Structure formats: structure tokens, C-alpha cells
Structure 1
Amino acid sequence: MTEVVFKHMHINELYAVLAEQSHVVVDIRDPASFQASHIPNAIHLTNDNISDFIREADLDAPLVVCCYHGNSSQQAAQFLASQDFTDVYSLDGGFVDWQLHYPEHIEKGA
């Protein structure tokens, strides 16, 4: 049995494809942090909505998992890859790095 793995994506790579909306971005940070600011069009993924997300998602669409610093997103990306998503990435540097380099590309609110 082969191990299902995710890939890493640098914030510059995500920025380059963000306008195309070809990648689905999920943010696993806490609700208050997500509400305060997040990557444009990101979906807030929580323990409460993950089952619905998996059931309704396009499993073949590139999926980028974002957390604070790029650590927790690795475990979440591994889990999502194990749920039959075919193209899963963990965002290196997370939202903290994104906010530092692309402060003009942030949404606020849900």
C-alpha cells in the first residue's frame, strides 16, 4: 500500500494562481482569526464542517491548506489527501507569511 502524500506550496506560487481561482484554499485557523482576515476566497474549514466539505468538494481540484505558520496545515493536508483529494498542498509559511508579503490581498469577514 502506498502512502498518500501532500505537497508543499510557497506563498508566491499561490499568489501566482490566485487570480485564476483554479485552486481551492481552505483555512484551518480559529474562527476569530479567519473572521479578522484571510486569503481571498478561502473557505474556513473546521471540525464542524469538514465532513460536508469533503462530501461536496471536487476531489480533483488543487486544494491548498492554510494555517498560521505552515505547521498544522501539514497534518490537515495529509488527512485530506487520505480522503481521496488528488492534489493537496500545505501552504509553507501559512497566513502569517502571506499577510507579511501580500497585505493588499486579504479579505475580512466570513
Structure 2
Amino acid sequence: MGIEFLLILLIVIVGFGIYRYFKQRKILKTLSEEEFRQGYRKAQLIDVREPKEFDGGHILGARNIPLSQMRNRLTELRKDQPIYMYCQNGTRTARAAILLNKKGYNELYQLQGGFKKWNGKIRKSKSSQY
């Protein structure tokens, strides 16, 4: 009985991971840097990294709404405009997209490779030592 239970548990975990992967791909469109550049000025540009990371450098024009605060700051985002998001490498953006989609936000985009792959203009906070 123990082996069958572990096998079923493993199948459920893998199945859930596959489900989340495909759901994320359905609700969150990944854009190349060029595609991201073409659209982010007409959208809400959100950096979902933590404030210290944001202060260390962020895309010019981005607002910082960390994933850890997203649920409490949804009123700052409009549902009638696209949301272009990025984090350091894409992991937190995917989690933010799932949360936003559940709350009725539909036009969700992320920067392929995250901030670490961005080659455009950035801004750093003067007090940053990150």
C-alpha cells in the first residue's frame, strides 16, 4: 500500500506542475525584449521584485509592486489596460500573473529572461547600494 500511495502522490504532484505550467502559458504572454519595448509605454509597467532590487536598478518608467505586496495593492492596477511585468528572471512574474488572472486581469505580458536580460535604459535610486 505504501508504494502505490507514493506513486499516486508523485503523479498528482507532476500533474499539478504540468497544469500550472500550461495555465501560466495561457494567461501570460512572454515577449522578447524588442516586443516588450514596442508595447510597454502604452501599458502599466510593473516591476514585481522587492524594493531593494528595484532600487538597485529598474526599467525606466516602471512602478514597483513587489509580488509579496501584490494582493494588497491590486487597486493600483487597472483591468482595462495591459500589464507588462518583469522580475529578475521570470519566476515571480509567473506567480504574479496567476494571482492577477484570478482577480480578473487578462492582458498580462512578461519580459523574456527578466530584468537580468534587459539591455535598455535603466534607472537606479541614488541611495541604492544593492
Does residue 56 (structure 1) correspond to residue 69 (structure 2)? The answer is no
Q: How many percent of aligned residue pairs carry the same amino acid?
A: 25
Larger radius of gyration: 2
In the TM superposition, residue 87 of structure 1 has moved relative to its aligned partner by: 0.3
Which structure is higher in RCO with an 8 Å CA cutoff and minimum separation 6? 1
Q: Tell me the matched-pair count.
A: 101
In the TM superposition, residue 37 of structure 1 has moved relative to its aligned partner by: 0.8
Does residue 106 (structure 1) correspond to residue 128 (structure 2)? The answer is no
Taking a change above 3 Å as real, the CA distance of residues 83 and 38 of structure 1, as seen in their structure-2 partners, is same
1:41-84 CA distances to partner (integer Å, 9 max, x unpaired)?
Answer: 111112346423x1232102110121111222111112112211
Unaligned segments of structure 1, at least 5 residues: none
Unaligned segments of structure 2, at least 5 residues: 1-22
Q: Partner of 2:5 in structure 1?
A: none
TM-score (norm: length of structure 2): 0.67
1:3-53 CA distances to partner (integer Å, 9 max, x unpaired)?
Answer: 6722212221111234xx21111111121110021011111112346423x
Q: How does 1:62-81 map to 2 (within 5 A)?
A: 62-81=82-101
Distance 1:49 1:73 in 2: 11
